[in-house]
Amino acid sequence: MQFGGIYEFKEVPCPLCGYSLIIPVFPGYRISSRCPRCGGVLYIAVGRDGGIRIRGRSYLELVKEEVLRIAKENINKYLEIGGKIYCSYCGYALEKPKIEVSEENGVIEAYTVCPKCGGKMSWVTQEVSRGTQIF
């Protein structure tokens, strides 16, 4: 609805936590934003008819995905050079290192545990804070 360039605003609940978001009903409006309460990443699209579509993804899940992606990239680089990854503790050769992702005290880490000695090789660590902008 348009009144001399002023658009209506609509209250829409965050799909992740239910927090009321105020969105301008501007046809064709598209934005990705963060929910101020849960920190979830929201993809908002307003249709021509003023209908609002909103998708949400947990910020933590997105950071985990990104950490996993970077870890895979790093490992692939090593594999391209040497064909194998050698445990930094015992020298065991890992042909297909298994990547694990953990979250502890607001830090997400991607790592591989050596099947022989149990040594932990860290690939990526990323601190998570609700206010951190990743886009």
* CA-based nearest residue to 92, from 112, 117, 71: 117
Nearer to Zn ion, 90 or 107 (CB): 90
Contact region with Zn ion (CB under 5 A), list: 12-20, 46-54, 65-73, 103-111: 12-20
Assess 119 for contact with Zn ion (CB under 5 A).
yes
Assess 55 for contact with Zn ion (CB under 5 A).
no
Contact, 19 vs 36, CB < 8 A?
yes
Assess 93 for contact with Zn ion (CB under 5 A).
no
Say which residue the tokens 């880490």 belong to: 109
Q: How far is the CB of 48 from Zn ion (least distance, A)?
A: 26
* CA-based nearest residue to 110, from 83, 73, 58, 59: 73
Assess 94 for contact with Zn ion (CB under 5 A).
no
Q: How far is residue 11's CA from residue 134's CA, in Å, rounded to a whole number?
A: 25
Contact, 85 vs 94, CB < 8 A?
yes
Question: Which residues of the shown chain bind Zn ion in the complex (CB under 5 A)?
Answer: 14, 16-17, 19, 35, 37-38, 40, 87, 89-90, 92, 114, 116-117, 119
